[in-house]
Chain A
Amino acid sequence: MATKIFMEALSPTMEEGRLVKWLKNEGDAVKSGDVLAEVETDKAVMELAARGEGLLRKRLVNEGEAVPVGTLVGVIGAKDEDIASLVASAGPTKGSQTQDSRPQTADANATPAVAAPVAAAPAAPAVAATPAAPLTPAAQASPAANGGRTLSSPLAKRLADEKGLDLSRVSGSGPGGRIIKRDIEAAVASGSSVSRPASSVSSLKTSVDFQDLPLTLIRKTIARRLAESIGPIPTFYLTAEFDLQRASEMRAAMTAMGDDYKVSFNDIILKATATALAQHPEVNAHWLGDHIRLHNRVHLGMAVATDDGLIVPVIFDADKKRMSEIAIESKALAKKARERKLTPAEYTGSTFSVSNLGMMQIEQFTAIINPPECGILAIGAIEDKVIVAADGSLETRKRLRVTMSCDHRAIDGAVGARFLQTLRRMIENPLMLVY
């Protein structure tokens, strides 16, 4: 039976190892305990030993490459044993490096037959962003003093609240004028008019004014990922308004042909975006810290709101799919997302994302980039607007506002704008989508 060779944790803290040197060639006989390779851990260079006997059939990691612990780095097997399925099964546990880090050509047409999709995004669930309303902190009950802070002990504050006293009218006898218990007692005894107006803010301090929600795992992930995004990513935004009149007419015509031909505006936008991306690999890109990876294939993420929060399932090779396929697939993915049945393979690996809040009557918004992607498109509501036509007359037309968020480290303003120009051509001339 074939034996898989994994990148092993050769130190307690090791998370990835760099394969420094293979000490056996493919085809060499190995027995258990033989040193196969030298591996650089976070601490030292260690030996990776064989745990099975046979021939070293396959080396899956090149010298110099670093891969996470648990990655299949090779296979030991008998001479004639079929190991194809073993190698293929390595996909999900394998780091991206073995295939994607090879030098890539920028020519979008140069990769007719690449291997199966390899998840290049981090394993954590990818979530895209919508502008969410932050929880409003509970209003504070601290009394407003004339021209500054009133110093008082916590006890004095509480007593003043209970007795309805306005602390700003009580003079403090403590250090620095701090109002303390005896000052409140004196004020009460003197009966002076220091009572607070009836509309005391103290009633705001009750617990019905806010609700504390525990953080779900997905909420924590969203928070972490979004903070990662807005922090280090220098983002700029490009907004454009597209004319959707023709697309709207096309959709109406298709709907009239029956349910089999029914597509949503969102499907049209997804298809147009994917097609445009295929022509603009410079925005269909990942920022990978020390390099930018331009993707020749278009894996389009679509943000889906679920009861648990946002998740972004992926339509793989969206540019190569017909609109009807996109319609079916997007519907199925959205359903799975809401039922929490998405597998990690279905929500990782996107190269660009789209977030649509149009159905919720949002005219325009900015979405937050889902790293390592470099751009995201925020789709607003389709609205009837009166515009001045080319001949100067006024007409009512369907219009749509989109905003593209761009990672400026990878995408310059003009680059993003050119992509939007292409997208505009597609959406305003929907026949191009079937061209």
Chain B
Amino acid sequence: MAAKKKDAGSVEAGKSNAALHTELLHSMILQRRFEEKVAEAYALGKIGGFCHLYIGQEAVGTGCISMLRDDDYVITTYRDHGQAIARGVSPRSVMAELFGRVDGCSKGKGGSMHIFDRNVNFLGGHGIVGGHVPMATGVAFAIKYRGGNQAIVCFMGEAAVNNGAFHESLNMAGLWKLPVIYVIENNKYGMGTAVERASSIKDMYKRGDTYSIANAEVDGQDVLAVRDAMSAALERARDDYQPTLLEIRTYRFMGHSMSDAVSGTYRTKAELEEYLKRDPINILEAKMKAAGEITGAQIADMEKEIGVVVQDAWDFADASPEPPLEALYEDVLVETTSG
């Protein structure tokens, strides 16, 4: 039996480790099954455009987001479905958005890359690499401006780290001391370019030193390790308005987008298979089974329940109407009510 150490965040939430781990496992499996369904829908032409899956990286989003309070903020890239679900955006509204339907969280106007949900402070998936990093910095500025003690977590791929917007943002966050947690999800490839072919340094987290920002490297396949790192970062943000840069190392099990082969051109099948052995869901399941926190039968039940949720999301999306053509001109500008 492992030591009775309480996991990060469990004390505040008043939960046992087992309950906490079950929730994390549930969220990750939900994201996985949801996106497998997305891949199927994409293949059948239900979903169009660019579609980037999170499969393999679930522990990063789940670990970070599970540590947040409701009044904290999340902002991310176009690889956003998994994190949206981790944050509590309903699978129905995400699927309907992917189907381009009126019940989508962005009314079918945004699609896969632009999942937004004001109800859970999910500030969007953004399509320009690095473009949302200054926005995250601005949200942190607003938190400090108002004297609040929330935080914002900003996910980005490791390729964004070479972008000017990243450096400009970290400079201001370090200079002004803003409550932002920049999370580099290092999945080793910016589309098809290996990190060592794009970055002058191998350890991305060290970029934080340049801007006087606390930084750390984290195992992104271990959701509990992610939570530990996030816990420390949140403490810095809430107590001292201090930013943090986390480099969370992970791997995407799918191609960059749906039009990209899983392996072959820029990464080998052997490498992929090596990483598949470190599936974040299997890692957590194994830990929980070893600690006697869950049984195979319970996992099977969970899978069954999630299967129903995911099918329901599909059915809901499929039944939702297409946006009416009048919607084309709606939401370009808003009627000004203040002033």
Contacts and interface: CB of A to CB of B under 8 A. Distances in A.
Interface in B36-69: 40, 42-45, 48-51
Given A12-B49, A12-B50, A6 B44 contact: yes
A14 B45 CA distance: 10
A44 B48 contact: no
A46 B50 contact: no
B337 interface: no
A70 interface: yes
Given A51-B40, A69-B45, A10 B262 contact: no
Interface residues of A, number: 15
Given A43-B259, A47-B261, A51-B40, A12 B45 contact: no
B294 interface: no
A47 B258 CA distance: 11
A217 to B, nearest CB: 14
Nearest to B257: A12
Interface of B: 40, 42-45, 48-51, 257-259, 261-262
Contacts of B43: 6, 8-10
A11 interface: yes
Contacts of A41: 259
B127 to A, nearest CB: 14
Nearest to A51: B40
A47 B48 CA distance: 19
Nearest to B50: A12
Contacts of B257: 12
B261 A9 contact: no
Nearest to B261: A46
Contacts of A44: 261
Contacts of B258: 9-12
A61 B44 CA distance: 18
Contacts, number: 33
B259 to A, nearest CB: 4
Most chain B CB within a 10 A radius of its CB, from A9, A14, A47, A70: A9
B49 A70 contact: no
A21 to B, nearest CB: 14
B58 to A, nearest CB: 17
Closest 10 CB pairs of A and B: A8-B43, A11-B259, A9-B45, A12-B259, A46-B261, A12-B49, A9-B43, A69-B45, A51-B40, A70-B45
B32 to A, nearest CB: 13
Contacts of B48: 12
A41 B49 CA distance: 15
Contacts of A47: 261-262
Contact of A10 (B40, B49, B50, B259): B259
A289 to B, nearest CB: 25
Contacts of B261: 44, 46-47
Contacts of B44: 6, 8-9, 70
A43 B258 CA distance: 12
A9 B42 contact: yes
B255 to A, nearest CB: 9
13 contacts: A6-B44, A9-B43, A9-B45, A9-B258, A10-B43, A10-B258, A10-B259, A12-B259, A43-B259, A44-B261, A46-B261, A51-B40, A70-B45
A44 B44 CA distance: 18
Nearest to A45: B261
Interface in A18-47: 41, 43-44, 46-47
A44 B192 CA distance: 14
Nearest to B255: A46
A69 B47 CA distance: 13
Contacts of B49: 12
A297 B325 CA distance: 44
A14 B261 CA distance: 14
Contacts of A43: 259
Most chain A CB within a 10 A radius of its CB, from B43, B49, B51: B43
Given A12-B50, A12-B51, A51-B40, 19 more contacts: A6-B43, A8-B42, A8-B43, A8-B44, A9-B43, A9-B258, A10-B258, A10-B259, A11-B259, A12-B48, A12-B49, A12-B257, A41-B259, A44-B261, A46-B261, A47-B261, A47-B262, A70-B44, A70-B45
